[in-house]
Every structure is written in structure tokens, then in C-alpha cells.
Amino acid sequence: MQEFKILEKILPMLTQREDIAVGPGDDCAAIDLGDGVCLLAGMDQMVCGLHYFPDVAPARIGAKLLKRNLSDVAAMGGEPAYALLSLASLGGQAEWFEQFFQGLEEEARQWNVSICGGDLAGLPAGKVREIMSLTILGRIRKERLCLRCNAAAGDFLYATGCFGNSLTSEHHLDFTPRLAEGQFLAGTYTRAMIDVSDGLLVDASRMAAASNMALRLDLDTIPLRPGADLSGALADGEDYELLFAVRPELAGELEKNWPFNIRLTRLGTFEKGSGVIDVMNNNLLKLKNIGYEHQFK
Amino acid sequence: MQEFKILEKILPMLTQREDIAVGPGDDCAAIDLGDGVCLLAGMDQMVCGLHYFPDVAPARIGAKLLKRNLSDVAAMGGEPAYALLSLASLGGQAEWFEQFFQGLEEEARQWNVSICGGDLAGLPAGKVREIMSLTILGRIRKERLCLRCNAAAGDFLYATGCFGNSLTSEHHLDFTPRLAEGQFLAGTYTRAMIDVSDGLLVDASRMAAASNMALRLDLDTIPLRPGADLSGALADGEDYELLFAVRPELAGELEKNWPFNIRLTRLGTFEKGSGVIDVMNNNLLKLKNIGYEHQFK
């Protein structure tokens, strides 16, 4: 499904109230609540067989659904607080539901998130066992909001963690959303951030395009997850790491003060122009064999 | 799918933060924003083939999805403001999506609601053409919040509109959510309200059960939609009308001051006990031929 092409046509149709600080097209929407506080709102869905295999333990599925959404809050720099869940299912056993909700609830408690509403429905017999959607709500101070459109010429691109091979390694189930890192960075070292769900190259190019910038990537610096090659690191997706832009004069301080165990890597530089290019001046988005509209989102 | 039985087991597992004024189990959750204001949050989904037939015009499907959720905000007495959408689809034509979003957006504008975020995904080939979920956010002053658990002994049960035959009459597509009526009633004439989506009898019994009350219904008073019989009025569902409890001493004033064209009818009285009974002392919930776990939600 050509999600991007459809959105290109549809997003401009949607009128936004004046109290919407950030509308559709970023990791979350931001609603101005007054007093300098924004409500963050994001929504992300998972389809059995596409976003996880049917034999995955239900508790891990529930946790993954929440974590994907937490990663979107992290990318805005925010703090999650509430979630609502829609689940449509062929009507499995009560045990499956219990374990699913246990996994979801356990993950939610870790982040002080309350599952405060939702909807259950049946599905007609067919190939999809279940499909689920979660809405995450959170808060952030307005002056700390991180948007993908805020990168400027000369900014360095940094990333948390490493990339590629998320499916086989089960990182896509086991990852920790980078909430602490996002909150540390937001408004101090960056105002430009995105999370990597669809692949490093696609998400980096979205950040560059939203900022009207080109991005020069140093491919040699990209940290590979065990078992990953460069092509996978660029295109596999489901890394749930943060990409963010840092002004060069803050870079040294950031690297010195970085308080987390998770690695921090400088991957490139934003510059005037468009597209994602490597240090050899190749246009990476035109390279073959990088399947950035792959099935496994 | 035995949604109610699953929820009975799962809802107690979900811990709620202290700032959650109303947790899962009502038409919307309510989050205390401070200064006497609550954020309302509700989520409701629709499955092609279950909640509408595939040949319904996409614009009407989009409008219905929003209106179902607006009806939940109406039942809390609130004012809607923002919505997020998840849509998973086999990947139909661009035209379908455009018309769907046009219908959704047109309805949203009427109520000053902004579609501020969401997610599109594909579905594996199968019998479900698309499935969609919408999260509605709104506001209400805390002291005006209407809960289904607030009915008291002696309160009259009132209803807006008429009941039954929603599917054939296409009321389930054409209805107007009772937002104006809900806002007029909330905190003035009632603090106990629910919307009728699953059928008058089921939703009235939910209100009675949540309030620890019995409800005595006068079946002769139930207004029938053209083409509906009493059984359909009790059980068809998708009426999207409001049921609410009114203290007897306010009933006369309410009937005198009711400013809307839509009819207002007194259907019964709450009393000590449990269940929904008719004036002949029959336990309505035990009557046969009232399909209150029917397919068409």
C-alpha cells in the first residue's frame, strides 16, 4: 500500500483548529493545552502476520503495540500518560486475551501509562487473526517539542543504538522505547527528532525532506546490530531508535554529557539541498536493493 | 465475540493513574486536566461487512465512523475537538480513500473537530476489505460529566428520538449525533447518561447495572422508528440516541424547556433492585427473541 502517496493527497484536506500546535505528519500531533503545555497524541496499528508472526506470545504482542507508540512519544521528546486500545479479532480464547492484556498492562505500568479506554470487536472468518490499534496520549512543554522539520544546515545527525536485522534478532519485540533519551535531548540538545520505524534511510530522508535539507550520511559510521549488514541497517526498519539534529557547537558537550548506556553515534550532516547522499556523493535513495517499501513495516 | 465477558476479566487488571477521573467502562474516559476541565477520550472501530456493507459510499463510511464516536462524547455531555484515525485496508483505489476522507473531514468540520493524526496500513488478502478505528478527544467541565453509574432510585429514564430498524432505514448512516442535546442536559437536568449503540435494552440495562438500580420500562411509551416493531426497538441497536436519568422534580421543567425538534420521551423509572423489568413485572432481559448479542453492532 502506497501510504505516502495517499497521505500526500489527503493531509492537505484536513483542516486544523488553532489550538493544534502540530498536525498530522509528525510522530505525534501536539495540542496546545495552554500554560505552555501540549498534549501529544499518536496512533499506530499492528496486523497479525504483518507486524508480528501469529506464534509470538500474546504478552509480547501487547507490549510491542504499546512500545511502538511510546517510541513516537519519545521522538517528540514527551512523556506518555494514557492509552486507548482497539482490538478486532476472530474471537480467540479467553487465555489469549488475558495474556495480551497482561503484556500490555505490564509495559504500561513501567512507564506510568494507564490503559483508560478502547473497543473490542469481532472479525469475519478470514486470514487476519487479529488487528489492533493503540492511541497514545502524553505531555510535553511546548518549548521542548521536537519536530522532524526542525533540522538546519550544518546540524549533525545523531542516532541512538544500532540498526538492521530487527526481525530475526527479535529486537522488534524486545526493544526499549527511547523515552528517557528523548526527554534528555528535547529542548536541550535538539528540537529536531524522529524515530526509526520504517528504516534508517527512509526516516532520515523524511527528516531531511521535512526540514528542506539534504542529509550527507557517512555510511561507515552506522552501527550495525549483530547479524545486520549495511543494506539491512539502512532499510530493515523497526529499530525504534531516535535520529536527531544537533547544532555543531553543542555536539562536543552532548557527547561528553551523554548519561545513557545506549550508544550515541554521529551519522552525518544536514546541508542545503535535498535527498540523502553518502560521502561519495551517491544519491542513496536511488540505490538499488534497498527495499524501503518492504512488507514488514 | 463475548466482548462483555472478556472485559469483565480484563478491566480490573488495568491500573489507573490518579488523574484519570473516569477509567474504562463508560462511553469515554475522562482525564483531569486541572482547573475543573476534563479531557474526554473515546475509541470505536468499524469492520467492513459488520458495521456497514461494502457497497456503502466511502464518504458515508467515513462520516459514520466519526459520528459513532461523537455519540460517545455526547453521552458524557462533552464537546468534541480532535480525532485520530487508523485505517487498515486491502489497498483499494486512491479514489476510495479520497472520498472516505472527504466524508470524514466534512463531518468533522461541522463539529469543529480536527483530524490531527493517525495511521494507514495494508491488510493481507482475505475477506476483510478494510477495518478502521477512530479516537475522539474532547472537553467537558468536570462538574457536568455524565456517567452511566449516576442514576438514582426514583429518577425517570428519558430518551431522545426513536428506536429500531436502524439498518434498513439507513439511520445507522444518516443519524445526527446528539451533541447539542447532551451538552444542554449535562449538569443541568442530568448527570447520568449513555448512548444507545448496542440496543435500547442492553444499553438501558448497562446504565441500571452501573448504577446498582433496577429499571422499570413502560414498553408502550417507546417511540418506534418507521418500520420498527417493539422487539427491534429494544434490540436492533445503532440508534445513537441518548438515554438519561432525571430527578422527578426536574422532569416537568425539562419537558417544558426542551428546545430541540427531536422528540423527548419518558420511558421508565429507576428503582431499588436489579435488571430491566416492564410494567407487567416481566424481566425483560430474560425474554426470548431479543437478540442482544447480535452480529450487527
Q: Over the stretch A60-113, which tens digit does the pLDDT of each residue have?
A: 999 999 999 999 999 999 999 999 999 999 977 889 999 999 999 999 999 999
Query: The cell 457497497 sits on which residue?
Result: B55
What is d(CA B230, CA A158) in angstroms, rounded to the nearest whole number? Answer: 66
Question: Which candidate from B44, B117, B137 shows the least CB-CB separation from A119?
Answer: B44
The Cα of A126 is separated from the nearest Cα of chain B by a number of Å equal to: 5
| CATH H-level, domain B156-286: superfamily | PurM-like C-terminal domain (3.90.650.10)
Q: How far is CA B114 from CA A14, A147, B104, in A?
A: 7, 20, 10
Instruction: Please tell me the class of the B3-144 domain.
Output: alpha beta
Q: Are B43 and A84 an interchain contact pair (Cβ–Cβ within 8 Å)?
A: yes
Q: What is the helix (H) or strand (E) element at residue B251, kind and residue range?
A: helix B248-257
For residue B146, the model assigns a pLDDT of 98
Note whether A15 contacts B114, CB cutoff 8 Å: yes
pLDDT at A288 over 60: no
B289 band by pLDDT with thresholds 50, 70 and 90: very low
Tell me which DSSP letter residue A143 carries: G
pLDDT beyond 90 at A145 = yes
Task: Please indicate whether, in this complex, the C-beta atoms of A28 and B85 are within 8 angstroms of each other.
Answer: no
* Cα(B150)–Cα(B146) distance, integer angstroms: 7
Note whether B3-144 and B156-286 share their fold: no
Residue with cell 475522562: B30
Residue A293 has pLDDT above 60, yes or no: no
For residue B259, what is its C-alpha cell?
Answer: 428546545
**What cell was used for B17?**
493513574
Q: How far apart are the first and last CA of chain A?
A: 11
Do B17 and A114 meet the contact criterion of CB atoms below 8 Å apart?
A: yes
Comparison of pLDDT for B93 and B57, the residue scoring more: B57
Q: Quick one: A47 exposed, middle or buried, by C-beta within 10 A (0-12, 13-18, 19+)? A: buried
- pLDDT in the model for residue B9: 86
pTM over 0.90, yes/no: yes
- H or E stretch covering A7: helix A3-10
In chain B, which residue's Cα lies nearest the Cα of A37?
Answer: B33
Cβ distance B186 to B28 under 8 Å? no
How far is residue B22's CA from residue B30's CA, in Å, rounded to a whole number? 5
pLDDT at position A162 is 98
Nearest to B242 by CA among B133, B146, B122: B146
Instruction: Kindly indicate the confidence band of residue B287, based on its pLDDT and cuts at 50, 70 and 90.
Output: low
pLDDT band at B195 (very low <50, low <70, confident <90, very high): very high
pLDDT at A243: 98
Contact B3 A116 (CB under 8 A): no
Give the whole-angstrom CA distance, residue A36 versus residue A32: 8
Share of chain A above pLDDT 70, in %: 95
Output the pLDDT for position A292: 39
Reading across the β-sheet that carries A37-47, which strands appear in turn? A20-22, A29-34, A37-47, A130-141, A79-89, A114-122
pLDDT the model gives residue B91: 75
* Cβ atoms of A223 and A214 closer than 8 Å: no
Interface test with A, best of B7, B16, B53, B115 (most A CBs within 10 A): B115
Locate A266 and state its grid cell.
554521529
Burial class (CB in 10 A: 0-12, 13-18, 19+), A248: exposed
Shortest Cα–Cα distance, A103 to chain B (Å): 11
Mean pLDDT for all residues in chain A: 93
Which amino acid, residue A254? L
Distance from CA of B249 to the nearest CA of A (A): 34
Q: A133, A242, A143: which is closest to A197 by C-alpha?
A: A242
Which of A82, A94, A131 has the CB atom closest to B131's CB atom?
A131
Separation CA B163–CA B73 (nearest Å): 20
| Residue-averaged pLDDT of chain B | 93
* Contact flag B137-A41 (C-beta cutoff 8 Å): yes
Contact B80, B137 (CB under 8 A): yes
Averaged pLDDT for residues B157-178: 97
Among A14, A84, A102, the residue with its CB nearest the CB of B135 is A84
- A41 and B135 within 8 Å at the Cβ level: the answer is yes
Choose, out of B1, B87, B89, the residue to mutate when testing the contact with A (most A CBs < 10 Å): B1
What's the pLDDT score for residue A4? 67
Phi, psi of A146 (to 5 degrees): -105, 120
Burial class (CB in 10 A: 0-12, 13-18, 19+), A289: exposed
The mean per-residue pLDDT over the stretch B59-84 comes to 98
B119 vs A13, A43, A98: nearest CB: A43
Q: Which residue has the higher pLDDT, B240 or A285?
A: B240
Which residues from B are below 8 Å from A101, CB to CB?
10, 13-14
State whether residue B245 is helix, strand or coil.
strand
Nearest to B121 by CA among A91, A60, A86, A104: A86
Mean pLDDT along residues B241-258 = 98
Domain boundaries, chain A: 3-144, 148-286
B260-280 pLDDT tens trace: 999 999 999 999 999 999 877
pLDDT confidence of residue A218: 95
Strand pairing report for A242-246 and A156-160: antiparallel
pLDDT for B220 equals 94
| A126 vs A186: which has the higher pLDDT | A186
Band (pLDDT 50/70/90 cuts) for residue B4 is low
Q: Give me the residue label for grid cell 488475558.
A: A98
* Among B260, B238, B231, B257, CA closest to B246: B257
What element of type H or E holds B265? strand B264-271
Return d(Cα B42, Cα B26) in angstroms, integer.
Answer: 9
Which chain B residues are Cβ-neighbours of A19 within 8 angstroms? 81
User: Could you give the CA distance from residue B282 to residue B271 in angstroms, rounded to a whole number?
Assistant: 15
Check CB contact under 8 Å for A128 and B133: no
d(CA B133, CA A41): 15
DSSP element (H, E) containing B185: helix B179-185
What are the Cα distances from residue A228, in Å, to A137, A167, A225?
33, 10, 5
Give me the CATH code for the A148-286 domain, please. 3.90.650.10
Q: Is the CB of A81 less than 8 angstroms away from the CB of B135?
A: no
Our CA-based measurement puts residue B184 at a distance from the nearest CA of chain A, in whole angstroms, of 24
Q: CA torsion angle for B31, B32, B38, B41 (degrees, to 10)? A: -10
